[in-house]
A and B are shown apart, each in its own frame.
Chain A
Amino acid sequence: MFERNKKEDHSESQEFGSSEPDKTFGATRKSKPRKSDGLATIGRSIQISGDLRGDEDLRIEGDVSGTVELRNNALTIGKEGMVHADVYARSIAVDGETRGDLYATERVSVHVNARVQGNIISPRVSIEEGAHFKGSIEMDQAAVEKVLGKPAPEQKAKPEAAKAAAQKSAKETSSNLNPPAGTA
Protein backbone atom coordinates (compact mmCIF):
# COMPACT_ATOMS: atom_id res chain seq x y z
CA MET A 1 0.00 0.00 0.00
CA PHE A 2 2.85 2.35 0.76
CA GLU A 3 5.56 3.17 -1.69
CA ARG A 4 9.03 3.87 -0.51
CA ASN A 5 11.41 6.09 -2.35
CA LYS A 6 14.33 4.37 -0.72
CA LYS A 7 14.93 1.15 1.11
CA GLU A 8 13.41 0.87 4.53
CA ASP A 9 15.74 0.95 7.47
CA HIS A 10 14.83 -2.30 9.21
CA SER A 11 16.94 -1.50 12.25
CA GLU A 12 14.25 0.96 13.33
CA SER A 13 11.54 -1.64 13.45
CA GLN A 14 12.67 -2.52 16.97
CA GLU A 15 11.23 0.78 18.17
CA PHE A 16 7.67 -0.10 17.26
CA GLY A 17 6.77 -2.05 20.36
CA SER A 18 8.58 0.22 22.74
CA SER A 19 6.84 3.53 22.18
CA GLU A 20 3.97 4.33 24.48
CA PRO A 21 0.82 6.00 23.18
CA ASP A 22 0.55 9.68 24.02
CA LYS A 23 -2.12 10.74 26.46
CA THR A 24 -2.12 14.36 25.40
CA PHE A 25 -1.18 15.41 21.91
CA GLY A 26 2.30 16.85 21.97
CA ALA A 27 2.37 17.31 25.72
CA THR A 28 3.54 14.10 27.31
CA ARG A 29 5.01 12.15 24.47
CA LYS A 30 7.97 10.02 25.33
CA SER A 31 8.79 8.41 22.04
CA LYS A 32 11.15 10.19 19.69
CA PRO A 33 10.10 10.76 16.09
CA ARG A 34 11.34 8.02 13.81
CA LYS A 35 13.50 9.01 10.91
CA SER A 36 13.68 6.75 7.91
CA ASP A 37 16.09 6.95 5.02
CA GLY A 38 13.29 7.71 2.58
CA LEU A 39 9.90 9.37 2.74
CA ALA A 40 6.88 7.10 2.85
CA THR A 41 4.46 8.10 0.12
CA ILE A 42 0.84 7.30 -0.58
CA GLY A 43 0.77 7.41 -4.34
CA ARG A 44 -1.80 9.18 -6.45
CA SER A 45 -3.69 6.01 -7.37
CA ILE A 46 -4.14 4.98 -3.73
CA GLN A 47 -7.40 5.57 -1.87
CA ILE A 48 -7.57 5.02 1.87
CA SER A 49 -10.68 5.19 3.98
CA GLY A 50 -10.26 4.87 7.74
CA ASP A 51 -7.66 5.70 10.36
CA LEU A 52 -4.13 6.20 9.13
CA ARG A 53 -1.44 6.09 11.82
CA GLY A 54 2.29 6.02 11.65
CA ASP A 55 5.57 6.92 13.21
CA GLU A 56 7.49 8.33 10.29
CA ASP A 57 7.24 11.23 7.88
CA LEU A 58 4.66 10.77 5.15
CA ARG A 59 3.69 12.32 1.84
CA ILE A 60 0.15 11.89 0.53
CA GLU A 61 -0.53 12.17 -3.19
CA GLY A 62 -3.63 9.96 -3.16
CA ASP A 63 -7.07 10.20 -1.54
CA VAL A 64 -7.37 9.71 2.20
CA SER A 65 -10.52 10.02 4.26
CA GLY A 66 -10.98 9.33 7.96
CA THR A 67 -8.27 10.33 10.41
CA VAL A 68 -4.54 10.82 9.93
CA GLU A 69 -2.30 10.57 12.99
CA LEU A 70 1.43 11.11 12.67
CA ARG A 71 1.77 12.84 15.97
CA ASN A 72 5.55 13.00 16.08
CA ASN A 73 6.23 13.37 12.40
CA ALA A 74 5.85 15.56 9.36
CA LEU A 75 3.02 15.18 6.87
CA THR A 76 3.06 16.63 3.37
CA ILE A 77 -0.09 16.66 1.31
CA GLY A 78 1.18 16.86 -2.25
CA LYS A 79 -0.39 18.63 -5.20
CA GLU A 80 -2.37 15.53 -6.14
CA GLY A 81 -3.30 14.73 -2.56
CA MET A 82 -6.88 14.95 -1.30
CA VAL A 83 -7.36 14.46 2.41
CA HIS A 84 -10.83 14.49 3.93
CA ALA A 85 -9.80 13.90 7.50
CA ASP A 86 -8.77 15.45 10.76
CA VAL A 87 -4.99 15.43 10.72
CA TYR A 88 -2.66 15.28 13.72
CA ALA A 89 1.07 15.70 13.10
CA ARG A 90 4.18 17.48 14.25
CA SER A 91 4.15 19.61 11.10
CA ILE A 92 1.78 19.72 8.15
CA ALA A 93 2.49 21.15 4.70
CA VAL A 94 -0.35 21.37 2.20
CA ASP A 95 0.03 21.68 -1.55
CA GLY A 96 -3.16 19.80 -2.41
CA GLU A 97 -6.64 19.75 -0.94
CA THR A 98 -7.83 19.08 2.59
CA ARG A 99 -11.18 19.07 4.31
CA GLY A 100 -10.97 18.63 8.04
CA ASP A 101 -9.13 20.13 10.97
CA LEU A 102 -5.33 20.34 10.98
CA TYR A 103 -3.56 19.96 14.34
CA ALA A 104 0.21 20.41 14.41
CA THR A 105 2.46 20.85 17.42
CA GLU A 106 5.03 22.78 15.40
CA ARG A 107 3.76 24.29 12.16
CA VAL A 108 1.13 24.27 9.43
CA SER A 109 2.13 25.61 6.00
CA VAL A 110 -0.49 26.11 3.31
CA HIS A 111 1.24 26.61 -0.01
CA VAL A 112 0.15 28.42 -3.14
CA ASN A 113 -2.76 26.75 -4.99
CA ALA A 114 -3.61 24.57 -1.98
CA ARG A 115 -7.26 24.35 -1.00
CA VAL A 116 -7.95 23.95 2.69
CA GLN A 117 -11.34 23.87 4.37
CA GLY A 118 -11.21 23.30 8.09
CA ASN A 119 -9.65 24.71 11.20
CA ILE A 120 -5.96 25.04 11.94
CA ILE A 121 -4.64 24.67 15.45
CA SER A 122 -0.89 25.16 15.61
CA PRO A 123 1.58 27.60 17.18
CA ARG A 124 2.88 28.60 13.75
CA VAL A 125 0.75 28.98 10.62
CA SER A 126 1.67 30.32 7.21
CA ILE A 127 -0.64 30.67 4.23
CA GLU A 128 0.90 31.64 0.93
CA GLU A 129 -0.85 34.08 -1.31
CA GLY A 130 -2.80 32.16 -3.93
CA ALA A 131 -3.81 29.46 -1.47
CA HIS A 132 -7.49 29.11 -0.71
CA PHE A 133 -8.46 28.67 2.89
CA LYS A 134 -11.79 28.62 4.67
CA GLY A 135 -11.79 28.00 8.38
CA SER A 136 -10.51 29.25 11.69
CA ILE A 137 -6.91 29.73 12.75
CA GLU A 138 -6.28 29.71 16.45
CA MET A 139 -3.35 32.05 17.11
CA ASP A 140 -3.86 32.50 20.83
CA GLN A 141 -0.97 30.56 22.35
CA ALA A 142 -2.96 29.75 25.46
CA ALA A 143 -5.83 28.32 23.43
CA VAL A 144 -3.42 26.35 21.22
CA GLU A 145 -1.71 24.84 24.25
CA LYS A 146 -5.08 23.96 25.72
CA VAL A 147 -5.78 21.80 22.68
CA LEU A 148 -2.31 20.53 21.82
CA GLY A 149 -0.72 20.50 25.24
CA LYS A 150 2.41 22.42 26.11
CA PRO A 151 5.28 22.08 23.66
CA ALA A 152 7.66 19.25 24.50
CA PRO A 153 10.83 20.43 26.30
CA GLU A 154 13.10 19.61 23.38
CA GLN A 155 11.09 21.92 21.13
CA LYS A 156 10.52 25.10 23.05
CA ALA A 157 11.97 25.10 26.53
CA LYS A 158 14.86 27.38 27.34
CA PRO A 159 18.27 25.68 27.37
CA GLU A 160 18.56 25.92 31.17
CA ALA A 161 15.13 24.43 31.71
CA ALA A 162 15.79 21.68 29.18
CA LYS A 163 19.10 20.88 30.87
CA ALA A 164 17.44 20.73 34.30
CA ALA A 165 14.67 18.52 32.91
CA ALA A 166 17.26 16.21 31.34
CA GLN A 167 19.22 16.00 34.59
CA LYS A 168 16.02 15.27 36.53
CA SER A 169 15.07 12.61 34.02
CA ALA A 170 18.55 11.08 34.21
CA LYS A 171 18.34 11.04 38.00
CA GLU A 172 14.97 9.32 37.94
CA THR A 173 16.19 6.77 35.41
CA SER A 174 19.29 5.92 37.38
CA SER A 175 17.77 6.21 40.84
CA ASN A 176 17.25 2.47 41.14
CA LEU A 177 20.87 1.78 40.30
CA ASN A 178 22.73 4.52 42.13
CA PRO A 179 22.00 6.43 45.27
CA PRO A 180 21.36 10.15 44.68
CA ALA A 181 24.55 12.13 44.54
CA GLY A 182 25.12 14.54 47.38
CA THR A 183 24.67 18.18 46.68
CA ALA A 184 27.96 19.94 46.10
Chain B
Amino acid sequence: MTVSLRRALSEDQLDTSQALHAPLFQNVLVKLDPSERSVLLDLGAASTAMLALFSESRCCVEIADVAHFGGCDRLNSAEPGPGLFDIAEALLPERVTSDPVDIVFCWDLPNYLSLPALKALMQAIGRRSRGGTIAHALIYYAERNMPKYPGRFVPTEDRKLENHALPGELVSAPRYSPEDLTDNMSGFAIDRARLLGNGMQEFLFRF
Protein backbone atom coordinates (compact mmCIF):
# COMPACT_ATOMS: atom_id res chain seq x y z
CA MET B 1 0.00 0.00 0.00
CA THR B 2 2.74 2.40 0.95
CA VAL B 3 4.74 1.50 -2.14
CA SER B 4 1.85 2.15 -4.50
CA LEU B 5 1.09 5.41 -2.71
CA ARG B 6 4.64 6.57 -3.17
CA ARG B 7 4.65 5.62 -6.81
CA ALA B 8 1.46 7.57 -7.33
CA LEU B 9 3.14 10.76 -6.22
CA SER B 10 3.88 13.05 -9.09
CA GLU B 11 7.03 15.11 -9.27
CA ASP B 12 5.32 18.23 -7.98
CA GLN B 13 4.23 16.51 -4.77
CA LEU B 14 6.30 16.29 -1.62
CA ASP B 15 6.91 12.83 -0.23
CA THR B 16 5.70 13.17 3.35
CA SER B 17 5.41 9.43 3.97
CA GLN B 18 8.95 8.98 5.27
CA ALA B 19 9.42 8.96 9.03
CA LEU B 20 11.19 12.17 9.91
CA HIS B 21 14.15 12.19 12.25
CA ALA B 22 13.57 15.34 14.31
CA PRO B 23 16.29 15.57 16.95
CA LEU B 24 14.85 18.61 18.73
CA PHE B 25 11.50 16.85 19.12
CA GLN B 26 13.35 13.90 20.61
CA ASN B 27 15.26 16.29 22.83
CA VAL B 28 11.99 17.65 24.21
CA LEU B 29 10.79 14.14 25.02
CA VAL B 30 14.03 13.20 26.73
CA LYS B 31 13.80 16.23 28.99
CA LEU B 32 10.25 15.40 30.02
CA ASP B 33 10.51 14.09 33.56
CA PRO B 34 7.83 11.40 34.07
CA SER B 35 7.77 12.03 37.81
CA GLU B 36 7.03 15.73 37.41
CA ARG B 37 3.65 17.05 36.43
CA SER B 38 3.72 18.66 32.98
CA VAL B 39 1.16 20.50 30.91
CA LEU B 40 1.46 20.01 27.15
CA LEU B 41 -0.33 22.03 24.50
CA ASP B 42 -0.70 20.29 21.13
CA LEU B 43 -1.86 22.58 18.31
CA GLY B 44 -2.29 19.59 16.01
CA ALA B 45 -4.74 16.71 15.92
CA ALA B 46 -5.02 14.16 18.69
CA SER B 47 -3.42 10.80 18.10
CA THR B 48 -3.28 7.63 20.12
CA ALA B 49 0.47 7.53 19.56
CA MET B 50 0.96 10.93 21.22
CA LEU B 51 -1.24 9.93 24.13
CA ALA B 52 0.63 6.65 24.50
CA LEU B 53 3.89 8.57 24.53
CA PHE B 54 2.76 10.58 27.52
CA SER B 55 0.67 7.94 29.26
CA GLU B 56 3.47 7.07 31.67
CA SER B 57 4.03 10.72 32.55
CA ARG B 58 2.09 12.91 34.91
CA CYS B 59 0.75 14.98 32.04
CA CYS B 60 -2.21 17.09 31.22
CA VAL B 61 -2.46 17.28 27.43
CA GLU B 62 -4.36 20.17 25.90
CA ILE B 63 -5.26 19.53 22.26
CA ALA B 64 -6.35 22.39 20.03
CA ASP B 65 -6.51 20.77 16.54
CA VAL B 66 -6.47 24.32 15.20
CA ALA B 67 -6.53 23.37 11.54
CA HIS B 68 -9.49 21.02 11.74
CA PHE B 69 -11.67 23.38 13.71
CA GLY B 70 -11.30 26.10 11.08
CA GLY B 71 -8.62 27.97 12.97
CA CYS B 72 -6.33 28.85 10.07
CA ASP B 73 -9.04 30.49 7.99
CA ARG B 74 -10.48 32.35 10.96
CA LEU B 75 -7.10 33.67 12.03
CA ASN B 76 -5.87 34.55 8.57
CA SER B 77 -9.03 36.37 7.55
CA ALA B 78 -9.33 38.53 10.69
CA GLU B 79 -7.98 42.05 10.91
CA PRO B 80 -5.02 42.50 13.28
CA GLY B 81 -6.10 43.85 16.64
CA PRO B 82 -7.93 42.77 19.77
CA GLY B 83 -10.48 40.83 17.75
CA LEU B 84 -7.74 38.66 16.30
CA PHE B 85 -6.42 37.90 19.77
CA ASP B 86 -9.92 36.90 20.90
CA ILE B 87 -10.22 34.51 17.96
CA ALA B 88 -6.84 33.01 18.78
CA GLU B 89 -7.74 32.53 22.41
CA ALA B 90 -11.04 30.88 21.49
CA LEU B 91 -9.17 28.37 19.35
CA LEU B 92 -7.29 27.08 22.36
CA PRO B 93 -8.98 24.43 24.51
CA GLU B 94 -10.64 25.29 27.78
CA ARG B 95 -8.37 24.55 30.68
CA VAL B 96 -8.87 21.96 33.42
CA THR B 97 -5.78 23.09 35.27
CA SER B 98 -4.37 26.41 36.35
CA ASP B 99 -0.84 25.07 35.91
CA PRO B 100 1.06 26.89 33.16
CA VAL B 101 1.85 25.14 29.89
CA ASP B 102 5.33 23.61 29.83
CA ILE B 103 5.63 22.46 26.20
CA VAL B 104 3.84 23.59 23.04
CA PHE B 105 3.79 21.35 19.95
CA CYS B 106 3.16 23.64 16.98
CA TRP B 107 4.14 21.06 14.32
CA ASP B 108 3.95 22.77 10.89
CA LEU B 109 1.00 25.03 11.75
CA PRO B 110 3.00 28.33 11.66
CA ASN B 111 3.51 27.85 7.91
CA TYR B 112 -0.26 28.09 7.41
CA LEU B 113 -0.71 31.31 9.37
CA SER B 114 -0.02 34.87 8.31
CA LEU B 115 2.50 36.59 10.53
CA PRO B 116 -0.16 38.68 12.35
CA ALA B 117 -2.19 35.49 12.88
CA LEU B 118 0.87 33.68 14.20
CA LYS B 119 1.60 36.59 16.50
CA ALA B 120 -1.91 36.57 17.92
CA LEU B 121 -1.93 32.81 18.44
CA MET B 122 1.41 32.80 20.21
CA GLN B 123 0.29 35.76 22.30
CA ALA B 124 -2.71 33.74 23.45
CA ILE B 125 -0.45 30.77 24.16
CA GLY B 126 1.90 33.05 26.05
CA ARG B 127 -0.97 33.93 28.40
CA ARG B 128 -1.03 30.31 29.60
CA SER B 129 2.74 29.83 29.60
CA ARG B 130 5.50 30.43 32.14
CA GLY B 131 9.07 31.63 31.84
CA GLY B 132 10.93 28.71 30.25
CA THR B 133 7.98 27.22 28.36
CA ILE B 134 9.26 25.47 25.23
CA ALA B 135 7.61 25.56 21.81
CA HIS B 136 8.52 23.14 19.04
CA ALA B 137 7.82 23.95 15.38
CA LEU B 138 8.61 22.70 11.89
CA ILE B 139 9.07 25.34 9.20
CA TYR B 140 9.19 24.71 5.46
CA TYR B 141 12.44 26.35 4.56
CA ALA B 142 14.45 24.70 1.80
CA GLU B 143 11.46 23.70 -0.34
CA ARG B 144 9.50 26.39 -2.17
CA ASN B 145 6.27 24.45 -1.86
CA MET B 146 4.39 22.74 0.94
CA PRO B 147 1.19 20.65 1.20
CA LYS B 148 -2.00 22.71 0.99
CA TYR B 149 -3.12 21.65 4.46
CA PRO B 150 -1.19 21.23 7.72
CA GLY B 151 0.30 17.84 8.45
CA ARG B 152 -0.85 15.28 10.95
CA PHE B 153 2.36 14.37 12.71
CA VAL B 154 2.44 11.18 14.71
CA PRO B 155 5.44 9.90 16.67
CA THR B 156 6.70 6.43 15.90
CA GLU B 157 8.00 3.96 18.47
CA ASP B 158 11.55 5.15 17.87
CA ARG B 159 10.33 8.73 18.33
CA LYS B 160 10.58 9.78 14.71
CA LEU B 161 7.69 11.69 13.19
CA GLU B 162 5.36 10.38 10.51
CA ASN B 163 3.08 12.74 8.65
CA HIS B 164 -0.22 10.92 8.30
CA ALA B 165 -1.86 13.64 6.22
CA LEU B 166 -2.79 12.42 2.76
CA PRO B 167 -0.55 13.77 0.03
CA GLY B 168 -2.33 16.35 -2.05
CA GLU B 169 -2.08 19.68 -3.77
CA LEU B 170 0.90 21.90 -3.09
CA VAL B 171 0.95 25.62 -2.39
CA SER B 172 3.89 27.94 -2.10
CA ALA B 173 5.45 27.96 1.35
CA PRO B 174 5.96 31.29 3.15
CA ARG B 175 9.47 30.09 4.13
CA TYR B 176 9.53 32.22 7.25
CA SER B 177 13.02 33.31 8.20
CA PRO B 178 14.34 33.16 11.76
CA GLU B 179 13.88 36.95 11.85
CA ASP B 180 10.22 36.63 10.84
CA LEU B 181 9.70 34.12 13.60
CA THR B 182 11.62 36.11 16.20
CA ASP B 183 9.42 39.14 15.48
CA ASN B 184 6.14 37.24 15.52
CA MET B 185 6.33 34.52 18.14
CA SER B 186 5.18 36.93 20.87
CA GLY B 187 7.87 36.40 23.46
CA PHE B 188 8.97 32.94 22.33
CA ALA B 189 12.63 33.36 21.35
CA ILE B 190 14.59 30.92 19.19
CA ASP B 191 16.54 28.58 21.42
CA ARG B 192 17.79 26.01 18.90
CA ALA B 193 17.29 25.25 15.21
CA ARG B 194 18.17 22.30 12.96
CA LEU B 195 17.80 21.78 9.23
CA LEU B 196 16.16 18.39 8.72
CA GLY B 197 16.69 15.84 5.96
CA ASN B 198 13.45 16.78 4.23
CA GLY B 199 14.38 20.44 3.99
CA MET B 200 12.28 21.60 6.94
CA GLN B 201 13.80 23.70 9.64
CA GLU B 202 13.10 22.40 13.14
CA PHE B 203 12.91 25.04 15.86
CA LEU B 204 12.77 25.11 19.62
CA PHE B 205 11.57 28.38 21.09
CA ARG B 206 11.73 29.40 24.72
CA PHE B 207 9.30 31.79 26.39
Contacts and interface: CB of A to CB of B under 8 A. Distances in A.
Contact of A131 (B46, B57, B59, B95): B46
A134 B48 contact: no
Contacts of B96: 101, 119, 121, 136, 138
Interface in B26-57: 37, 45-48, 51, 54-55, 57
Given A119-B96, A135-B94, A140 B37 contact: yes
A143 B60 contact: yes
Interface stretch (A53-61, A122-130, A154-162): A122-130
B97 A129 contact: no
Dominant SS among interface residues on chain B: loop
B61 interface: yes
Interface residues of B, number: 27
A133 B46 CA distance: 6
Interface stretch (B62-70, B106-114, B117-125, B188-196): B62-70
B68 A132 contact: yes
Given A119-B94, A127-B46, A132-B65, A137 B51 contact: yes
A137 B60 contact: yes
Nearest to A132: B68
A139 B164 contact: no
Interface residues of A, number: 23
A126 B58 contact: no
Interface of B: 37, 45-48, 51, 54-55, 57-65, 68-69, 93-97, 152, 154, 164
The 6 closest A-B pairs by CB, nearest first: A140-B58, A133-B46, A127-B46, A136-B96, A136-B62, A139-B59
